[in-house]
């Protein structure tokens, strides 16, 4: 693997390989010595044009546990906020000898532009681009599902036949997009539930079932997994729905809806959560919730991705 830009172009074997390597990495997380020497001498740059402390520290922990040197490059307060271009930044990082670049950017496609350019020869990991994709989040979600649904027997398998309901702001969610493609590749069936204003135009052509009605969908699907998406506060001011109260009533996972879920189903949230809006405190802290596992699994997945991108000899451009 040369770059990880999206889950859309990830094959099934490749995806399962990442999940399996993440299992090995997770084993390392349970040891007393959590560090591997694998990427000693390699330099990973966390290039964050958008604030995300959670994602950045997850990648930072992953790189450090593989013994890579980590440089954090945050756009805020740097030359980037003074108008330096992506190209100039990339060339600067190339001159510093970066082997891998983990990029988070508000513009969709920025990681792909970086990977396609001749500005830098590093492996590029998309850590979230605009409303496009967030592949490591989807991988850690799939990893979490696999471990919960097939305890002790997760290696080597996909998510065939698993039903996943993803609820909330699909329109602006790169997590929903990355999950859609990856879960489909792994054999799961996906249903999006959202108000019509938050369903992307053309989503009816995607391999997904669409629904506006959360209660009907939960009753009909009896899903294995319910994934709640974060509602950004700025959406409330942009007329996507009238009020937080109305949104929570229609599309929030409250205690009552939680009680109606199958007891062995799992509740996921990519974080950070708006407790009381899209998810109740009861649902977030229930035994069915995987929120904290997702955080831990994020490090394992990112270790696996960095390992695959940076350990071997660099693949030639195809």
List the binding residues for L-aspartate. Answer: 82, 174, 230
From 11, 30, 152, 201, residue interacting with other proteins (rule: CB under 8 A): 201
Shortest separation between residue 57's beta carbon and other proteins, angstroms: 22
Helix residue spans in the chain (DSSP H): 12-29, 53-65, 86-95, 110-116, 135-149, 174-185, 214-221, 233-236, 244-251, 255-260, 281-284, 291-310
CB atoms within 10 A of CB 210: 16
From 21, 71, 244, 295, residue interacting with other proteins (rule: CB under 8 A): 21
Three-class DSSP category at 253 = strand
Three-class DSSP category at 192 = strand
Residue 205 in the binding site for other proteins (CB under 8 A): yes
Residue 312 in the binding site for other proteins (CB under 8 A): yes
Residue 86 in the binding site for other proteins (CB under 8 A): yes
CA distance 192 to 188: 13
Residue 8 in the binding site for other proteins (CB under 8 A): yes
Contact letters (x/-) for other proteins, 32-61, by CB under 8 A? xx-xxxx-----------------------
CA distance 307 to 256: 43
Residue 183 near residue 190 (C-beta atoms within 8 A):
yes
From 109, 250, 286, 293, residue interacting with other proteins (rule: CB under 8 A): 109
Residues that bind other proteins (CB under 8 A): 1, 8, 17, 20-21, 23-24, 27, 31-33, 35-38, 66, 85-87, 105-110, 112-113, 116-117, 129-133, 155, 171, 174, 177, 200-203, 205-206, 307-308, 311-313, 315
């Amino acid at each position: 693997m040369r770059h990880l830009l999206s889950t859309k172009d990830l094959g099934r074997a490749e995806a399962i390989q990442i999940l399996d390597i993440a299992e090995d990495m997770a084993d390392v997380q349970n040891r007393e010595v959590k560090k591997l020497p694998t990427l000693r001498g390699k330099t990973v740059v966390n290039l964050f044009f958008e604030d995300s402390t959670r994602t950045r520290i997850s990648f930072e922990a992953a790189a450090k546990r593989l013994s890579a040197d980590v440089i954090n490059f945050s756009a805020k307060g740097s030359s980037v906020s003074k108008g330096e271009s992506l190209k100039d930044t990339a060339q600067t990082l190339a001159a510093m000898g970066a082997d891998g670049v983990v990029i988070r950017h508000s513009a969709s496609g920025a990681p792909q532009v970086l990977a396609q350019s001749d500005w830098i020869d590093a492996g590029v990991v998309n850590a979230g681009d605009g409303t496009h994709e967030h592949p490591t989040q989807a991988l850690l979600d799939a990893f979490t599902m696999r471990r919960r649904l097939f305890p002790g027997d997760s290696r080597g398998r996909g998510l065939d036949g698993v039903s996943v309901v993803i609820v909330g702001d699909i329109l602006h969610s790169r997590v929903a997009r990355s999950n859609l493609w990856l879960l489909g590749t792994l054999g799961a069936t996906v249903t999006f539930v959202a108000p019509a204003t938050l369903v992307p135009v053309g989503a009816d052509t995607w391999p997904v079932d669409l629904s506006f009605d959360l209660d009907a969908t939960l009753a009909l699907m009896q899903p294995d997994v319910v994934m709640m998406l974060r509602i950004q506060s700025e959406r409330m001011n942009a007329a996507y729905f009238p009020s937080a109260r109305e949104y929570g009533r229609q599309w929030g996972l409250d205690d009552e809806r939680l009680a109606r879920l199958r007891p062995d189903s799992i509740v996921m949230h990519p974080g950070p959560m708006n407790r009381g809006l899209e998810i109740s405190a009861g649902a977030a802290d229930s035994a069915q919730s995987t929120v904290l596992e997702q955080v831990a699994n994020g490090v394992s997945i990112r270790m696996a991705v960095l390992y695959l991108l940076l350990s071997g000899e660099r693949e030639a451009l195809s």
